[in-house]
Amino acid sequence: MIRAAALAALLVSPATAGTLEGRLVTFTVETWDNRAEPLVQARGRTVTVGQGVEFGLEPEGLTGGLDVVPVSVEIGPTRIELAYPGGIGQFYEAAFNGYVLRFETECALFEKVAVDPEATTMNVTEVWAETGALYINVSGLGYGPEAKLALDLEVADCPLS
């Protein structure tokens, strides 16, 4: 009787959506005109997604005249928010100059990615996903303490690696 009720509840309840919570993610900064020959590929940092800010990047030292712009990255279950706490400027222009978040998974983790216009001040137009990686291109955009980017994500129900 109890098993039948539990099975019925599972069949009636909607399928649960996926989450980024508890997933292992590596965050890096990349700049390239040709993906096979990056101009900059910052040291990646890996954490498990949990409460609060996951990444707080600081400059790493010049590489070919380029350096990492300070950025704060908070990852929620289905949302990613970026902020620029220090400095004001403009990102170097390249085919891609931005962030790559690689989540450890073998499945297509992101079903949908959308910029939240209500919480975003930056004119980000290029965001895409490849399997478990999310690419955010900020090439040529301005940054500073008022700059914010918020992404709403539809996350697949992929198993944790």
136 domain-assigned: yes
The SS3 of residue 12 is: helix
Q: Could you tell me if residue 141 is inside a domain?
A: yes
68, part of any domain = yes
pLDDT value, residue 14? 38
Let me know if residue 132 belongs to a domain: yes
99: phi then psi, degrees, rounded to nearest 5: -120, 145
Query: Tens digit of pLDDT for each residue in 9-38?
Result: 333 333 446 999 999 999 999 999 999 999
Mean pLDDT, residues 86-109 taken together: 93
For 107-132, what is each residue's pLDDT tens digit? 899 999 999 999 999 999 999 999 89
Structural domain includes residue 5: no
Domain tally for the chain?
A: 1
Q: Is residue 12 part of a domain?
A: no
Cα separation of 60 and 133, whole Å? 23
What radius of gyration do the chain's Cα atoms show? 18
Tokens (6 digits) for 24: 């292992």
The verdict on residue 10 lying in a domain is no
The overall average pLDDT reported for the chain is: 86
Per-residue HEC secondary structure of 63-104 comes to ECCECCCCEEEEECCCEEEEECCCCCEECCCCCEEEEEEEEC
Domain that holds residue 24: 18-155
Query: What is the structure's pLDDT at 22?
Result: 94
pLDDT at residue 90 in the model: 95
Partnered with residue 31 across adjacent β-strands are 40, 97
CA–CA separation, 77 vs 23, rounded Å? 10
Residues near 131 by beta carbon (within 8 Å), at least 6 away in sequence: 105, 106, 107, 108, 109
Within-domain flag for 34: yes
Rounded Cα gap, residues 47 and 54, in angstroms: 7
How far apart CA 57 and CA 28 sit, in angstroms, is: 9
Q: Identify the pLDDT of residue 95.
A: 97
The reported pLDDT for the residue numbered 59 is 63
Question: What's 119's DSSP letter?
Answer: S
> What percent of the chain clears pLDDT 90, i.e. is strictly above it?
65
